[in-house]
Amino acid sequence: MPTAGRYHEELLNGKRTVTLLVRNIGQLCTVDAGEADTAGPRRRAAMQELGLFQQAALAIGEDTVLAAGPEDELVARLFPTGLPAELNVVDAGGMAVVPGFVDPHTHTVFGKTRQDEYERRVRGETYLEIAAAGGGIHASVSDLRQRDEDELVALAVPRLREMLSLGTTTVEIKSGYGLTLDDELKMLRAARRAAEIVGIRSVRTCLAAHEMPREYKDNRQDYVRLITDEILIRAQAEGLATRCDVFCEPTVFDLEESLVILSRARDLGMSLTVHADELASFGGAVLAARLGADSADHLIRIDEKGREALAASETVAVMLPGTVFSLGLKSYAPGRAMIDQGCALALATDFNPG
């Protein structure tokens, strides 16, 4: 636990001015390990370094935190002659203050929910059985294709507002329920507009490789080419997505197809993420690490090779325990074992219609 406050260099040299002081913070979590911090995600014991201060204060200038630390020290150092009359002061009432949450995996733009599928799973049907019967991602695709962009924005805005009200200030939003050029771009535009309306920071990901469209079931390579030659190019060129994701599974996109799509996205300057080893141990995590992806997500069935690959890379393992619970699966991703092995971990909601 740090004992001395943290001060922005530009504050100390007079280039920045404090305009807001948050005081009477019972516990302040800065996630700052001080000199122990290193570049890149934290691993093993370093993940426990939360940078906690008791009876703390925050000093803010415009949109930047300029100082954080024990209130008595901070106030005495920054305001030795007393608080200026024009300073905006907020009393935290002894409550905790933490950084905004980052949700790195969501499917926020969709039409109707598939809550009926939860009841079916409770009765014993599996995810794959429901999908084979016309449910799952295909059901959401059929629904979304019938909705226009304005309707998708109107549906996404209250979802994002709820996230923001619960402390999420940055959210990743995927496409993947369109599976055509126009519908994928429509989803990404809706995601951008909705986030701008709400005032939440968004990172948009093109997940055109979320499922094989039914109309391409007999000519899979044509759909892969549609993604690589049209959808990714348009999404990147129009500033709609900075990232590419692929659902890499034996029953969705195989390793070769995933490699083709992800390699094309990387060539376009997009960063990568992978739905990996969720339903089967399939080598998705190894592929993500080999390509230098930002993350490999789900990992319920990750094997030893996958864990070793992630531990030796900068690729973050994203855990989605809510998905496991919702699907009624019997085992979760081996998060503790992965931490002990040296993997970098993150948590996400996987908020989606199902």
DSSP string, 103-154: E--B----SS--HHHHHHHHTT--HHHHHHTT-THHHHHHHHHTS-HHHHHH
Q: Do 68 and 23 share a structural domain?
A: yes
Q: Do 114 and 76 share a structural domain?
A: no
Does some domain include residue 30?
yes
Q: What is the pLDDT of residue 2?
A: 63
Annotate 85-115 with b (16+ C-beta within 10 A) or e (fewer).
eeeeeeebeeeebeeebebbbbbbbbbeebe
Q: What is the length of the chain?
A: 354
Does some domain include residue 352?
no
The CATH number of whichever domain residue 17 belongs to comes to 2.30.40.10
Q: Residues 205, 206, 209, 213: is their CA dihedral positive or negative?
A: positive
Does some domain include residue 197?
yes
Q: Do 94 and 108 share a structural domain?
A: no
* Cβ 258 vs Cβ 274: under 8 Å: yes
Does some domain include residue 297?
yes
* Cβ 158 vs Cβ 151: under 8 Å: no
Write down which residue in 99, 114, 141 finishes a domain: 99
Q: Do 247 and 137 share a structural domain?
A: yes
Q: Do 313 and 184 share a structural domain?
A: yes
Q: What is the pLDDT of residue 8?
A: 93
Q: 107-164 pLDDT, tens per residue?
A: 999 999 998 888 888 888 887 888 888 888 999 999 999 999 999 999 999 999 999 9
CA distances from 197 to 114, 183, 276 (A): 26, 21, 32
For 19, counting Cβ atoms within 10 Å of its Cβ (0-12 exposed, 13-18 middle, 19+ buried), the class is middle
Q: Do 117 and 248 share a structural domain?
A: yes
Q: Do 180 and 94 share a structural domain?
A: no
Q: Do 211 and 80 share a structural domain?
A: no
Does some domain include residue 154?
yes
Write down which residue in 99, 115, 142 finishes a domain: 99
Q: Do 111 and 24 share a structural domain?
A: no
The CATH number of whichever domain residue 160 belongs to comes to 3.20.20.140
CA distance 143 to 96: 42
Angle at 262 between CA 133 and CA 302, to 5 degrees: 65
Q: Do 112 and 88 share a structural domain?
A: no
Q: Do 51 and 11 share a structural domain?
A: yes
* Domain encompassing residue 21: 6-99
Q: Do 171 and 37 share a structural domain?
A: no
Write down which residue in 65, 83, 99 finishes a domain: 99
Does some domain include residue 315?
yes
Q: How many domains does the chain have?
A: 2
Give every residue of the chain whose pLDDT is below 50, as ranges.
Answer: none
